[in-house]
Amino acid sequence: MNYTEAIGCIHIHSIYSDGSGTVPEIIAAGQACGLDYLLLSDHMTLAARREGYCGWHGKLFMSVGYEINDQEDQHHYLAFGLDEELPLHYSHLEYLQAVKEKGGLGIAAHPFEKRVQNQSLPGFPAIPWGRLDYPEIEVIEIWNMMSHWLEKTTVRNKYWNIVHPRSFSTEPAAELLAWWDEINQHHKVTGVGSVDVHATKVKVCGLYSKAIFDYKIMFKSIRTHLLLPRRLSEVRDPDEAERMLLTAIRSGNAFVANYRRGDASGFHYWIETDSESIILGETARGNSGWLRVDLPASAQCQVIKDGQVIFSQMVPKHFDLKITPGIYRLEARRQERGWIFTNHLRLKGVSN
C-alpha cells in the first residue's frame, strides 16, 4: 500500500456562469484552506480553461471542466479533460457518449436530487437524473453540498440555514447509497463529494448582503481525498497532473469527507491478503483477507458488504475485520452526523 493523497473540492461555479467569484478569488480561497486541488465546472462554458486557469497556482492545482445540461436544463453532467465544449443541441445520451469518446471524465451531478414537498424554496427545482444505469456513467456525486442544503431547507428554516450553511449537513441520501452499492456489485461506479458552490449573493431586508455559502466556507465542508501513486506537487506538467487527478477519480481511488465533522487526514482503509495489499477502488484476489481501518479520531463506523451492514461499532482509532469475497464500503459518523464515506474495496474469490 503505497500512495499519497491530494485533498480538494469538486464542482465550483465562477463568474463565467452563475457563481459570484472570479477564478483568482476562488483560487485564493482554495489556497487559504490549504487545498491541493480544485475542479472548476461552470455551466456550459470552458471559458476559464481558454483563459489559461487550468494548471498550477502556487501549491494548488486547478482543473477546469464544465457542467453540461440538456435543452430542458436536465441531466447535469460535469465533464473534465475536454479542451472545447460539445455542441449545444446534444441530448444527455449524446453527451454521455461524446465525453467518453473524447477521453473526458464525466460525473453525474446531484443524481438523486429531491425537494421537500410543498415547502421548497421557489425558483430552485430539483434536477435529478431519473435513470442512471447508462454504461457511460463511471462517476456520480454521492454527496453534493448545495443540493443537500436545498433538500434540507424549507421556507421556515431558510434563514437559520443561510446563517449556518454547514451545520444542517447530515449525510448522503440512503436511497442513493443503496443504488450505488447495488450497481457496484455489477460494475464499478465511483462516488465523489462535491460542493457545487456559487457563493450566491442575497439581499436581506432589502439591503445588500454578502455572499452566502462563500467559497471558503464551502471548501471547509465536503472534500474528496484522491489517492495518488505520486505526490501531485511533484508533477509540474499541468496535463500530466490533470490526468493523474482524473484517473484517480475514474478508478475510485477516493473517499469523501465532510470537514465540518473533523479533519479526515490520516484516514486509511485497505485490504490485505496473503499476497497483496490494495487501496480504495482496487480489487484483491483471494478467498479471504483482512479489512484494515485507521481513523484520525474516534468515530461510529459501519462497514457495508454487498449493500448489507456487517459491522457497526464505535471505533477509537483502528480496527481489523476478517473478510470473504465481496465489495466493502465504510461509513464513519461523529455525533451521529456523516463524516467519511469511502468508495468500495473489492475482494474477488479465486477457485482452486
Residues that bind Zn ion (CB under 5 A): 67, 76, 109, 196
Task: Report which residue type is found at 46.
Answer: L
H/E element, 147: helix 145-152
- Is the CB of 131 or the CB of 317 nearer to Zn ion? 131
Min CB(110)–Zn ion separation in Å: 6
H/E element, 146: helix 145-152
Strand partners, 330: 303
Do 232 and 222 meet the contact criterion of CB atoms below 8 Å apart? no
Task: Report which residue type is found at 44.
Answer: M
- Is the CB of 171 or the CB of 196 nearer to Zn ion? 196
Of 86, 89, 50, the closest CA to residue 72 belongs to: 89
- Is the CB of 76 or the CB of 260 nearer to Zn ion? 76
Min CB(122)–Zn ion separation in Å: 18
Do 58 and 88 meet the contact criterion of CB atoms below 8 Å apart? no
Tell me the residue number closest to Zn ion, measured at CB.
76
Min CB(199)–Zn ion separation in Å: 12
- Is the CB of 184 or the CB of 194 nearer to Zn ion? 194
Min CB(213)–Zn ion separation in Å: 12
Min CB(77)–Zn ion separation in Å: 9
Min CB(326)–Zn ion separation in Å: 33
- Is the CB of 197 or the CB of 227 nearer to Zn ion? 197
Min CB(92)–Zn ion separation in Å: 13
Taking the CA atoms of 24, 67, 104 and 172 in sequence, report the sign of the dihedral they define.
Answer: positive
- Is the CB of 111 or the CB of 338 nearer to Zn ion? 111
C-alpha 182/C-alpha 140 separation (Å) is 14
What is the full DSSP assignment across 8-64? EEEEE--TTTT-SS-HHHHHHHHHHTT-SEEEEEEET--HHHHTT-SEEETTEEEEE
- Is the CB of 27 or the CB of 39 nearer to Zn ion? 39
Q: How many other C-beta atoms can be found within 10 angstroms of the C-beta atom of residue 261?
A: 21
C-alpha 298/C-alpha 318 separation (Å) is 9
Of 345, 16, 3, the closest CA to residue 184 belongs to: 345
C-alpha 61/C-alpha 216 separation (Å) is 16
- Is the CB of 63 or the CB of 342 nearer to Zn ion? 63
Min CB(153)–Zn ion separation in Å: 16
Do 302 and 331 meet the contact criterion of CB atoms below 8 Å apart? yes
